[in-house]
Amino acid sequence: MLAPTSTAVPYSVGIVTPQFLEFPEPLRLANGTSFGPYSLAVETYGTLNAQRNNAVLVCHALNASHHVAGVYADDPKSTGWWDNMVGPGKPLDTDKFFVIGINNLGSCFGSTGPASVNPETGRPWGAAFPVVTVEDWVHAQARVADRLGIAQFAAVMGGSLGGMQALSWAITYPERLRHCVVIASTPRLSAQNIAFNEVARRAIITDPDFHGGDYYAHGTLPRRGLSVARMVGHITYLSGDSMAEKFGRQQRQSQNGGDYNYGFDIEFEVESYLRYQGEKFSGYFDANTYLLLTRALDYFDPAKTCGGDLQRALAKVRASFLLASFTTDWRFPPANSREIVRALLGNRVPVTYAEIDAPHGHDAFLLEDARYHAVVRAYYERIATELGL
Amino acid sequence: MLAPTSTAVPYSVGIVTPQFLEFPEPLRLANGTSFGPYSLAVETYGTLNAQRNNAVLVCHALNASHHVAGVYADDPKSTGWWDNMVGPGKPLDTDKFFVIGINNLGSCFGSTGPASVNPETGRPWGAAFPVVTVEDWVHAQARVADRLGIAQFAAVMGGSLGGMQALSWAITYPERLRHCVVIASTPRLSAQNIAFNEVARRAIITDPDFHGGDYYAHGTLPRRGLSVARMVGHITYLSGDSMAEKFGRQQRQSQNGGDYNYGFDIEFEVESYLRYQGEKFSGYFDANTYLLLTRALDYFDPAKTCGGDLQRALAKVRASFLLASFTTDWRFPPANSREIVRALLGNRVPVTYAEIDAPHGHDAFLLEDARYHAVVRAYYERIATELGL
């Protein structure tokens, strides 16, 4: 196939349809138990070539899913979460690469999760759903690769929590990926990161409608707690500067000639925005999934079993790396990525690292920044050349 | 009185007793209504001299009170919140100065607030308590000064929300203070600051035990919401680095040989610390007061009526200024203090500004940092010399 040049106008992968893969064999989990049978929601874009060497796995972060690119036939607003990155002529070019998105075990967008029915009880798993880890997801993703006949990925890629999965792939299955693309991520959460996650979890767990995680049976949803959790999370995704630019101290209403309303209803635009984000999120996201995903974030720490020595944890890595971070990301700041870069260089692993001067905080990894996308595009063009795609 | 040298060993002001001052005349508020009668809890340390020119007003921040220094006779653990700053031989030396602490209107430590009984209904004010502002507090504090026969303060001083009050004093009553000491403060909250306050308020208001602010009548306390509010606030008082140093990723229990517990109970020390802070706070602080104080923070913006021009807002200032900020304070970072400094310099106001390289974040203003205390001490020694104290 003749690859389009990078100056081609990108277009979307178009209408996409998820598949649901059943896995009857239980999966061994980090917590020592086994879980299964289970099913995973999967989407693919582009075509797996005859050599089966052009597959790229894209791992999702906290509130995303297998729906990476394209739209669903029945909903023109259902654009995939990384549609600006993945598609024909886009940085991860589906004219060359076969791209796979997998909704992780425990999530709430089609894969088996806490809202799924536990076949042993006939009721939703709820609080009985096991606490899964980044490593558990990587093992489950490897099974999907097996199912699709992919022995080795051209690349595994992700941002934030997705970047942790990519990094874990390079450690856990060093022979099964040629390249590892880690964006706006970290080798471990800081105390402050964990603290924000804990605030979110407390807001959910102490909501009386949470019912110990079994709110499905009670016909309730802990929407208040989940909304507060989302609000606090959202603040950490944006930089202080971008919030200042977007909202500043702009007031929502100025019927008093700009004077304040002297109350606790919405006064400032930033309050309106956050409340809206919280309420919207609490209407579609499962609270138990939120708990699971924040805990997976907390627990990720590949250096833990090596006495905190990240270089040693990465000693068996075979993949080459692209890492990117964003200057105003205070959730996973550039120093976190630099630590991974240093540990890789210490192992003589080939690394490309881009520190992008972008104002948008952690959210920058989802946005279409020209320099950022140029770096990713160039890296995938290099992979395509290397593989003769 | 012979002033002790700065090398004297500081000692405490010792046993202190609050007074409760009654104000029968209603106070005109920024929201257009009048409020009163009301009472204010007040403490004083040191002696007002015959010239009545050695008085210093210390304004408190969100969760503090009139109890600035010393201890109560019945509780040896009841040390005042700024006891390291105020006392004999301390930076604000009570051997020279007469120091006054006032619990602000709307607070919950002895002054009239939402938990006080509304004489018209015979029930607690609850949600009917007016939304008060920094300017309202300053007017109420001026009445206290009148009552004590203080025409002009040697200084008005505060940190954080207390610093806003000090700044407001210099604008509102320019003739009534010789010096203004503003620590770790800001001329206005950023969108991110407001966002964190809004998360805290939503956690409280959406707690089913809040009952629209009238939880007193229901025999409940919105402890869950207040606890979450305190947790998120607490994170913003500490720097990321100080949290990393204090807690890192240290696990609470390691009965599994350091492995995780794979659950949502306390796993990391930082979770334990935050939960404890939240629970303790929710046991003694009034939730309605928390709402009022965060709103007073949001609303403070002296440049608002001058089209955002802070220099113009400070045009009538007569006091000299000391400002201090802390490098790792990301709640009210040094840039906020520098903005005040620039606006003052534009008005040819004498300003001393210290930017303290301290690791403790916003909380640094309450801690005993040698450089910070040396700057404050030197400034008050200058005032004492100026006044012949």
Give the per-residue pLDDT at B220: 96
Residues from chain B that touch A294, judged by Cβ atoms under 8 A, are: none
How far is A349 from A340, CA to CA, in rounded Å?
11
Q: Are residues A356 and A278 in the same domain?
A: no
The answer to whether the Cα torsion of B184, B189, B193, B199 is positive or negative is: positive
pLDDT tens column, A168-201: 999 999 999 999 999 999 999 999 999 999 999 9
Q: Does A224 belong to an annotated binding site?
A: no
**Cβ pair B193, B300 in contact under 8 A:** no
Size of chain A in residues: 389
- Cβ contact A116:A124 at 8 Å: yes
| Residue range A355-366, pLDDT digits in tens | 999 999 999 999
Shared domain check, B163 and B308: yes
Same domain for B147 and B98: yes
Q: Does the complex come out with an ipTM higher than 0.90?
A: yes
Encoded amino acid at B199, one letter: V
Asked if A302 contacts A313 with a C-beta cutoff of 8 angstroms, the reply is yes
Domain count for chain B = 2
A3 within domain boundaries: no
Contacts of B9 (CB under 8 A, 6+ apart): B89
Taking CA atoms, what residue in A is nearest to B229?
Answer: A199
Residue pLDDT, tens place only, A309-343: 999 999 999 999 999 999 999 999 999 999 999 99
Say whether pLDDT at A286 is over 70.
yes
Element (H, E) at A41: strand A38-45
Q: How many CB atoms lie within 10 A of CB A346?
A: 14
Residue A189 has what pLDDT?
Answer: 98
DSSP annotation of B3 reads P
* pLDDT of B89 over the 80 cut: yes
Contact (CB, 8 A) for A326 and A238: no
A34, A135, A201, A202: best to mutate for the B interface, most B CBs within 10 A: A202
So what's the pLDDT on residue B254? 63
pLDDT digits (tens, 9 = 90+) for B301-328: 999 999 999 999 999 999 999 999 999 9
Q: Which residues of B touch A246 (CB under 8 A)?
A: 191
- Indicate yes or no: CB of A206 within 8 angstroms of CB of B228: yes
Residues A162 and A58 in one domain: yes
Q: How far apart, in Å, are the Cα atoms of B261 and each of A106, A162, B38, B272? A: 18, 23, 52, 14
Nearest CA in chain B to A294: B264
CB contact under 8 A, A188 and B249: yes
Cβ of A264 within 8 Å of Cβ of B291? The answer is: yes
Establish if B299 belongs to a structural domain: no
Q: Report residue B254 as tokens.
A: 């390691």
pLDDT in tens, A27-59: 999 999 999 999 999 999 999 999 999 999 999
- Tens digit of each residue's pLDDT (9 = 90 or more) over B102-161: 999 999 999 999 999 999 999 999 999 999 999 999 999 999 999 999 999 999 999 999
Share of chain B above pLDDT 90, in %: 95
Mean pLDDT of B7-26: 87
Q: Tell whether B372 and B285 lie within a shared domain.
A: no
Q: Which residue range forms the structural domain that includes residue B214? A: 193-294
Average of per-residue pLDDT across B6-34:
88
Whether A48 is covered by a domain: the verdict is: yes
pLDDT at B15 over 80: yes
* pLDDT per position as a tens digit, B217-242: 999 999 999 999 999 999 999 999 99
* Residues of chain B contacting residue A301, judged by C-beta atoms under 8 Å apart: 249
Same domain, residue pair B182 and B229: no
Q: For B188-210, b where at least 16 C-beta lie within 10 A, e where not — what string?
A: bbbbbbbbbbbbbbbbbbbbebb
- Told to judge if A116 belongs to the known catalytic residues of this protein, a careful annotator would answer no
d(CA B136, CA A204): 36
Predicted pLDDT of residue B11: 81
- CATH number of the CATH domain containing B272: 1.10.1740.110
Q: Which residues of B touch A264 (CB under 8 A)?
A: 131, 201, 205, 291, 295
Could you tell me if B276 and B355 lie in one domain?
no
Please indicate whether, in this complex, the C-beta atoms of A298 and B268 are within 8 angstroms of each other: yes
Tell me, yes or no, whether B340 lies in a domain: yes
Q: Which amino acid is at A142?
A: A
Among A39, A160, A185, A320, the active-site one is A160
B164 and B63 share a domain?
Answer: yes
Residues of B labelled catalytic? 160, 329, 362
pLDDT in tens, A242-280: 999 999 999 987 666 788 999 999 999 999 999 999 999
Return the pLDDT at A361: 97
Q: Are residues B141 and B245 in the same domain?
A: no
Chain B nearest-CA residue for A202? B228
| Alpha-carbon gap, residue A15 to B121, rounded angstroms | 64
Does the distance separating the beta carbons of A198 and B271 come in below 8 Å?
Answer: yes
Same domain for B182 and B223?
no
Mean pLDDT of A227-242: 97
Among B194, B243, B270, beta carbon nearest to A271: B194
Give domain status of residue A169, yes or no. yes
State the pLDDT at residue B3: 45
**Model pLDDT, residue B253:** 75
Percent of chain A with pLDDT over 70: 96
Pairwise CA distance, residues B16 & B71, whole Å: 6
Please say whether the dihedral angle defined by the alpha carbons of residues B33, B38, B44 and B50, taken in this order, is positive or negative: positive
Which of residues B241, B274, B294 is at a domain's end?
Answer: B294
CATH number for the domain including A340?
A: 3.40.50.1820
Residue of A81, A80, A141 lying closest to A105 (CA atoms): A141
Q: Do A206 and B227 touch (CB under 8 A)?
A: yes
The pLDDT, as a whole number, for residue B326 is 98
Task: Look at residue B174 and tell me if it is in a domain.
Answer: yes
- 8 A C-beta contact, residue A60 and residue A68: yes
In which region does residue B290 sit, left (phi positive, over 0), alpha (psi from -120 to 50) or beta (all else)? alpha
Q: Do A235 and B270 touch (CB under 8 A)?
A: no
| Residue A2 domain flag | no
- pLDDT for A255 equals 60
What is the least distance, in Å, from the CA of A131 to any CA of chain B?
5
pLDDT value of position B258: 80
Q: What is the pLDDT of residue B61?
A: 96
Residues B254, B327, single domain; the answer is no
Which of A189, A228, A264 faces B203 most closely, judged by CB atoms? A228
Closest CA to B352 of B366, B372, B368: B372
Beta-carbon separation of B202 and A268 below 8 A: no
Tell me the whole-structure pTM to 2 decimals. 0.95
Count contacts between A and B (CB, < 8 Å): 145
Chain A nearest-CA distance from B181, in A, is: 26
| Residue A81 domain-assigned (yes or no) | yes
* For chain A, counts of helices (H) and of strands (E): 11, 14
Q: What is the mean pLDDT of residues A120-140?
A: 97
Do B33 and B163 sit in the same domain of this protein?
A: yes
Mark which of A271, A294, A317 sits at the end of a domain: A294
How high is the pLDDT of residue A6?
44
Distances (CA, A) of B110 to B77, B242, B286: 18, 33, 12
Give how far A376 is from chain B: nearest CA, Å.
30
Domain boundary among A261, A294, A327: A294
- Rg (chain B; Cα; Å): 21
Which residues of B fall within a CB distance of 8 Å from A208? Answer: 208
